[in-house]
Amino acid sequence: MAWVLSCPTDAVERLSRELCITPTLALRLEAALEIPVHDWLEGVAAHDLWILSQHMEREVAWIRRRRYRLNELRRHGDGWPVS
């Protein structure tokens, strides 16, 4: 999960213990899991999320590529990526 989200492992472990999703993390989760950002957050203005998503555009694209790569590895049985 940390690899796909491009987050430190301790941050993902903390997320599993304490559900505290920031707009930045919600955009990462949307890119990684294909669950809409508004399902992760309530009460955040769409305009604010749009501005943040534009700022994070390259990172979100990278996370989507990782998700695609991981899906391909799973589909072909090649195992998990190392880096």
What confidence score (pLDDT) does residue 55 get? 94
Each residue's pLDDT tens digit, 9-63: 888 777 767 777 889 988 998 998 888 888 888 777 888 888 999 999 999 999 9
d(CA 61, CA 27): 11
Q: What is the pTM of this model?
A: 0.65
